[in-house]
């Protein structure tokens, strides 16, 4: 096989990276966090959890903070996704950035989500309790997904995507954008227009990115909800329309590699 054939095969592989990391087709240098939650043939649960705690973004430091993850008391490790709740959060060293662009494939089938006003299903973000910094994406109920952030005045801003029925119990791709003037949440799977909220600035803080839960828990936000997550990409730059199309296509190839079908 020639070198050109090898390069072509690498391009067809959705991750591209010869070492298994994720090389994006566009804006590769802007990718600050990339995760694929899965279990490989022959792996034990703890081996899968430990491996998937590694950041697959290019040149990631991959420093795992001790004491919080990996834990397995409530994590269900499946071949193509992880199911976990806040007590099993993944705390990373990925910093909060002034611009956030994220794609995440997830679902929630826990009927307790939204059963009380403080019972949410946190997916990812830098949002902490009682500190007016950061952003977060979470299931507000089985029919509503919420994106939140703080503006420069420290005021909490929200952006809600609501549904009829329970499509959030099925794997869907959602797109998050937060910049200096707007926050938006879009369902890529159903192709509907983004829900947007105007903001005045975006307040960053010292919190780092977490998955499956927040770094702290308070009475205003109790998260014992199980969430399913398979692939997540986080960038610190906002793509153009054409770049978004390319990134979403690659996201779908990554999901296919996980043997996940959108809408199931």
- Among the listed residues 179, 84, 181, the one whose alpha carbon sits nearest the alpha carbon of residue 135: 179
Residue 230 C-beta-side C-alpha neighbours within 13 Å: 26
Contact 27, 235 (CB under 8 A): yes
CA–CA dist 175, 123 (Å, integer) = 13
Listed residue (166, 49, 191, 159) closest to 107, CA to CA: 166
pTM of the model: 0.89
CATH code assigned to 28-257: 2.60.120.200
Dihedral (CA of 80, 86, 87, 90) sign: positive
Residue spans per domain, the chain: 28-257
- Name the strand (E) or helix (H) holding 123: strand 121-125
* Residue 171, SS3 per DSSP: coil
Question: Over its length of 264 residues, how does the chain's per-residue pLDDT go in tens digits?
Answer: 444 443 343 444 565 544 567 889 999 999 999 999 999 889 888 888 888 888 888 867 655 544 344 444 567 888 899 998 877 788 888 888 899 999 999 999 988 888 776 678 889 998 865 567 889 999 988 899 999 999 988 888 999 999 998 889 999 999 999 999 999 999 999 999 999 999 998 888 778 888 888 776 554 556 678 899 999 999 999 999 999 999 999 999 999 988 999 988
């Amino acid at each position: 096989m020639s070198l050109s054939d090898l390069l072509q095969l690498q391009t067809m592989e959705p991750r591209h990276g010869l070492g298994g990391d994720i090389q994006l087709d566009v804006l590769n240098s802007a990718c600050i966090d990339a995760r694929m939650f899965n279990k490989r043939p022959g792996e034990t649960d703890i081996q899968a959890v430990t491996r998937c705690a590694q950041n697959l973004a290019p040149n990631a430091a991959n420093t795992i903070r001790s004491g919080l993850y990996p834990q397995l008391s409530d994590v269900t490790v499946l071949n193509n996704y992880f199911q976990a709740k806040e007590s099993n959060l993944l705390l990373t060293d990925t910093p909060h950035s002034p611009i956030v662009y994220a794609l995440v494939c997830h679902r929630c089938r826990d009927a307790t989500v939204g059963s009380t006003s403080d019972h949410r299903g946190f997916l990812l973000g830098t949002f902490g309790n009682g500190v007016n910094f950061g952003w977060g994406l979470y299931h507000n109920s089985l029919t509503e997904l919420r994106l939140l952030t703080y503006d420069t005045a420290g005021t909490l801003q929200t952006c809600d995507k609501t549904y009829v029925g329970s499509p959030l119990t099925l794997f869907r791709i959602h797109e998050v954008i937060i910049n200096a003037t707007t926050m938006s949440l879009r369902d890529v799977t159903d192709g509907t227009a983004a829900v947007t909220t105007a903001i005045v600035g975006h307040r960053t803080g010292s919190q780092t990115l977490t998955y499956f839960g927040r770094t702290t828990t308070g009475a205003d936000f109790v998260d014992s909800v199980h969430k399913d997550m398979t692939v997540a990409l986080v960038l610190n730059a906002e793509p153009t329309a054409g770049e978004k199309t390319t990134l979403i296509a690659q996201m779908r190839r990554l999901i296919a590699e996980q043997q996940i079908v959108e809408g199931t």
